[in-house]
Structure 1
Amino acid sequence: MSETAIEETGPKAGATIELECLTKRYPGSPQPAVDNVSMEIKAGETVIFVGPSGCGKSTTLKMINRLIEPSGGRIRINGEDVTDMDPVKLRRKVGYAIQSAGLFPHMTVAQNIGLVPRMVGWPKARIKARVEELLDLVGLDPGEFRGRYPRQLSGGQQQRVGVARALAADPPVLLMDEPFGAVDPITRDHLQDELIRLQRELHKTIVFVTHDFDEAIKLGDRIAVLRERSHIAQFDTPEAILTNPADDFVSGFVGAGAALKRLNLTRVRDVEITDYPTVTVDDPLQDIFNRLRSGGTNEILLLDRRRRPYKWLRRGDLMRARGSLARAGTLVHDTVTRDATLRDALEAVLTDNAGRVAVTGRRGAYEGVVDMETLMNSVHELLEADRLDALEHQHELEETRAAQTHAEQEGEQEGVPKA
């Protein structure tokens, strides 16, 4: 196989992945860690491996780029068998992101991101341009971050750099092994939103391992629920798994509240985002006073110099704070992006306890507001859809039972001897 075979799809294109009877046995173990797994993943698809600890999901993932060598079976990327390919060359063509980012501490952000392009012989100018492009893509200012070291970054910033490094050589396939597992819940939500946005732009083939079923629902085009030794219990869309789990094992992963979990299937961009009165920290105080007095709302959103949500200001805030913006208003503690789920938005609204949440775009710039009424209408629509589905399912069961009873009665009549 040629070294360029996996690159033939070109920029921004994913590649198909086929696993055929993939198996991993470790010496001394009576059972294989991964047993005879076969699966087809479409180009540009995000597939999530979810299952209990020790079920083999990470082992299966690492066999795709042969960080762990298979004991048996085949791996094909875009139809090309990579099972016998030089594993180092393979790994340079498959992006890989892990928990805690795995950045080299002695390298700057730019050096970490440019590592693989440098190894494959890209010229310096192309590497520099790629670093700038990727930092912007993952929402980090190149001028501010390119020269920093990992220790100078927050956990969320490190993960963004880790994703940028995995994408540096523009691989068609991106493998992600619980990449957001070590950050706080709010940062994790924002990183998930960023990944969704990136995937809409780049169309890579992503295989993602998690133990969190809610994360799987939010991110996946399809979810593979894995039992012990990576046996596939169900491999389907999130909606199909939520509404029709294959068995009790899968139902255990779905858990209670399937209707509310479906809020993870609907994005903020799918509902009405309303405009809201805004001012900036550079506006004269008198103009801010006038906006609050003349506006049709009792509240206004103060934006910082980068047009990011900063504070909610109410009538009377400036008077009580003696006209100082430093002491006026309430800080904006949480925001959501258009790629956030309705569940994320609902949690943010309930946490803030004020009936609305600001929506932001690239680099946190303000784009609008989603309110509680909009979110609750969506919840009611989902619950009503579930109620109608349940009624339809019950009706189908009753029809099936009636047909079976009718068939049994006819069979009994036919068996009675005629006089």
Structure 2
Amino acid sequence: MPETTDQPAAPASGANIRLENLTKTYPGSPAPAVEDVSMEIKAGETVIFVGPSGCGKSTTLKMINRLIEPTSGRIRIGDEDVTDIDPVKLRRKVGYAIQASGLFPHMTVAQNIALVPKMIGWPKSRTRSRVEEMLDLVGLDPGEFHDRYPRQLSGGQQQRVGVARALAADPPVLLMDEPFGAVDPITRDHLQDELIRLQHELHKTICFVTHDFDEAIKLGDRIAVLRERSHIAQFDTPEAILTNPADDFVSGFVGAGAALKRLNLTRVRDVGVVDFPTAGIDDPLESIFDRLRAGAQNELLLLDRNRRPYKWLRRSDLARAKETLARAGTLVTDTVTRDATLRDALEAVLTDNAGRVAVTGRRGEYIGVVDMETLMNNVHELLEADRLEAVEHQHELQEQRAHLTQREQEGLDEGGGSRA
């Protein structure tokens, strides 16, 4: 029934999801695609389904909003058993984002985002306001993107709009089926950071399918490692899976370099982001020169008119910048956000080969710099923690062996006594 007020409701936070003995068998198939899956996902939690191709992870996800109907089992969202309610109404209450965004090409960005709010009867003024709010939330300028069509957007921008559309009606649950799989690696990193930032603000319940274990570590509060037919091999935190994989199958997903993979668990916002000398592209040349000559640093960061990192300028560039900055300096090739992982930051620093990377906000605006020394200190701390953990584990094994040897000896003594 359409709403009669323009007053927005309080934002919806996440809802518990329970899968109870969920099974899907396709007609003519000798074995189930998904078999007897039971799982509880906490409200506000990001849970990642990861597993080999064809293991049933996407099928499991699609059964939650009944894009695929389960053969048997129950699905509960919050206190409601959704297995028997109208699936169309259910899908309007559950956000859904897929690979390559799935935007309607004949609709503008605003029309795509407004789709579900209009369907469920939101007033026009509330819908219009929500579209602008969602564009701003995913880091797209409403004035610039409102009337564009999907073909006029980059792949990363399309995915942002896809997420905005999925969240537009403020659902408690967001399902994401390999949403970042079709974009280039740099854009993918930025979209992952954006999702982490959004989740900090919104606290939705997110179920996310990926085949990329590094992505699972970066995004997940918990990870469900799935075998064939979505049988759960391990369902635990990224830290627990990295440090204590349940079996060889899970170890195969973790792969080599577990200590370095833990760099995906620490964010740039958790380490030292420092200020750095900056200048604006429209500042007088003389003032830029004075700042370079007088500063303790050998360089400064030149910002564009939107305060986004543009060029690194060194003192050695002064000779080439007597009248213009056009040929002087080195273009900024990569930045990271505060929600980027230490691994992202380390890769950016090594790629730039200058010992630091600029940290940016939602619209790409400059926030600060994180440097190689800070990153390496954190890497050394992780490696040292792993070394101490390995030593402790070794001591525990030695104690267990000694205890077993003692018990075996006691058994021999008792046996010898009886024989005597």
Q: 1:45 is matched with which residue? A: 45
Give the Cα separation in 2 of the matches to 1:288 and 1:33: 64
The Cα shift of 1:173 comes to 0.1
Root-mean-square deviation over aligned CA pairs: 1.0
Q: Structure 2: 5+ residue runs without aligned partners?
A: 1-8
Q: 2:408 is matched with which residue? A: 408
Q: 1:130 is matched with which residue? A: 130
Q: 1:6 is matched with which residue? A: none
The Cα shift of 1:11 comes to 1.4
- 3-state secondary structure, aligned to 2:35: strand
1:67 correspondence with 2:67: yes
Give the Cα separation in 1 of the matches to 2:314 and 2:240: 45
The Cα shift of 1:417 comes to 3.3
Q: 1:270 is matched with which residue? A: 270
- 3-state secondary structure, aligned to 1:363: coil
Deviations 1:33-59 (Å, cap 9, x if unpaired)? 000000000000000000000000000
The Cα shift of 1:317 comes to 1.4
Q: 1:31 is matched with which residue? A: 31
Q: 1:260 is matched with which residue? A: 260
Q: 2:347 is matched with which residue? A: 347
Q: Structure 1: 5+ residue runs without aligned partners?
A: 1-8
Q: What is the TM-score with the length of structure 2 in the denominator?
A: 0.97
Q: Residue type of the partner of 2:163?
A: V
Q: Residue type of the partner of 2:11?
A: P
Give the Cα separation in 1 of the matches to 2:51 and 2:417: 57
* Residues 380-395 of structure 1 mapped to structure 2, 5 A cutoff: 380-395=380-395
Q: Residue type of the partner of 1:201?
A: E
Q: 1:141 is matched with which residue? A: 141
Q: 1:225 is matched with which residue? A: 225
Give the Cα separation in 2 of the matches to 1:62 and 1:417: 67
* Residues 295-314 of structure 1 mapped to structure 2, 5 A cutoff: 295-314=295-314
Give the Cα separation in 2 of the matches to 1:323 and 1:173: 56
- 3-state secondary structure, aligned to 1:316: helix
Q: 2:361 is matched with which residue? A: 361
Give the Cα separation in 1 of the matches to 2:195 and 2:36: 30
Q: 1:292 is matched with which residue? A: 292
The Cα shift of 1:323 comes to 2.6
Give the Cα separation in 1 of the matches to 2:208 and 2:417: 65
Q: Residue type of the partner of 2:295?
A: G
Q: 2:160 is matched with which residue? A: 160
Give the Cα separation in 2 of the matches to 1:84 and 1:311: 58
Deviations 1:297-325 (Å, cap 9, x if unpaired)? 11100001111101000113132143312
1:323 correspondence with 2:304: no
Give the Cα separation in 1 of the matches to 2:128 and 2:10: 20
- 3-state secondary structure, aligned to 1:409: helix
Deviations 1:162-195 (Å, cap 9, x if unpaired)? 0000000000000000000000000000000000
1:112 correspondence with 2:100: no
Give the Cα separation in 2 of the matches to 1:11 and 1:305: 34
Give the Cα separation in 2 of the matches to 1:127 and 1:191: 25
C-alpha contact 1:17 1:43 (8 A) present in aligned 2: yes
The Cα shift of 1:31 comes to 0.6
Give the Cα separation in 2 of the matches to 1:253 and 1:323: 56
Q: What is the TM-score with the length of structure 1 in the denominator?
A: 0.97
C-alpha contact 1:300 1:313 (8 A) present in aligned 2: yes
Q: 1:4 is matched with which residue? A: none
Q: 2:235 is matched with which residue? A: 235
The Cα shift of 1:257 comes to 0.4
Give the Cα separation in 1 of the matches to 2:139 and 2:162: 13
Q: 1:244 is matched with which residue? A: 244
1:179 correspondence with 2:176: no
The Cα shift of 1:282 comes to 1.4
- 3-state secondary structure, aligned to 1:416: helix
C-alpha contact 1:300 1:314 (8 A) present in aligned 2: yes
* Aligned residue pairs, count: 411
Deviations 1:217-240 (Å, cap 9, x if unpaired)? 000000000000000000000000
Moved over 4 A (4+): none
Taking a change above 3 Å as real, the CA distance of residues 241 and 53 of structure 1, as seen in their structure-2 partners, is: same
C-alpha contact 1:318 1:324 (8 A) present in aligned 2: no
Give the Cα separation in 1 of the matches to 2:57 and 2:21: 15
Q: 1:82 is matched with which residue? A: 82
The Cα shift of 1:10 comes to 5.1
Give the Cα separation in 1 of the matches to 2:211 and 2:362: 29
Give the Cα separation in 2 of the matches to 1:326 and 1:127: 44
Q: Residue type of the partner of 1:315?
A: R
Give the Cα separation in 2 of the matches to 1:100 and 1:322: 47
- 3-state secondary structure, aligned to 1:161: helix
Deviations 1:356-388 (Å, cap 9, x if unpaired)? 000001201101000111111111110000000
Give the Cα separation in 2 of the matches to 1:191 and 1:328: 31
The Cα shift of 1:416 comes to 2.2
Q: 2:5 is matched with which residue? A: none
